[in-house]
Amino acid sequence: MIAGRSALVVLTALALVAPAVASEPHPTLAELATEVVCPTCHTTLDQSSSPVAQRLRVFIRARIAAGDSKGEIKDALVREFGESILASPPKKGFNLLAWVLPPVGLVVGAGVLAFLAVRWSRRRDDADEPRIESPDADADRRIDDELARYDG
């Protein structure tokens, strides 16, 4: 079951990476519009209708027509506007935390939940078992007397 899940994750990753790698030499405006943020309204270009977003679209179209790759176009935009123009932070330096912390948090959270679930289930198993205590000698004698009287 785990091998099946691993295979599914690998296939999904390959399916998502292949189009991204294939489009690098010949990007489209639609691809870049989801990855670039309008500096005035702080939404992606595909959602913005501001004048600045319109000028950015014109710039991107011109760069695509000139034969620039997606990376070259993004680099030009970052030089002009800074890294805040990108919809997702670059995977380097301090920004790497934005990519690493969420999966690490999910793994740690799942581990804590698993630990607590095992601990909780063991505690319930212990509570469900009846506790039998051996009677002392005096109680044992009284029980025998009562049983003898009942039988006799």
pLDDT single digits (tens) 66-98: 999 998 999 999 898 888 888 877 677 776 777
Q: How far, CA to CA in Å, does 79 sit from each of 3, 72, 148?
A: 44, 11, 100
Q: Does residue 96 lie within any of the structural domains?
A: no
Residues 83 and 110 in one domain: no
Chain segment 97-111, per-residue pLDDT in tens: 777 888 889 999 999
Which residues constitute the domain of residue 140?
Answer: 103-151
What would the pLDDT profile of 61-71 be if each residue is shown by its tens digit?
999 999 999 98
To the question of pTM greater than 0.85 for the whole model, the response is: no
Taking Cα atoms as reference points, which of 64, 58, 98, 59 lies closest to residue 77?
Answer: 59
Distance, in Å, from the CA atom of 55 to the CA atom of 85, rounded to the nearest integer, reads 14
Residue 117 has which token pair? 């679930």
User: Are 109 and 39 within one domain?
Assistant: no
Confidence class for position 128, pLDDT limits 50, 70, 90: low
Q: Are residues 57 and 115 in the same domain?
A: no
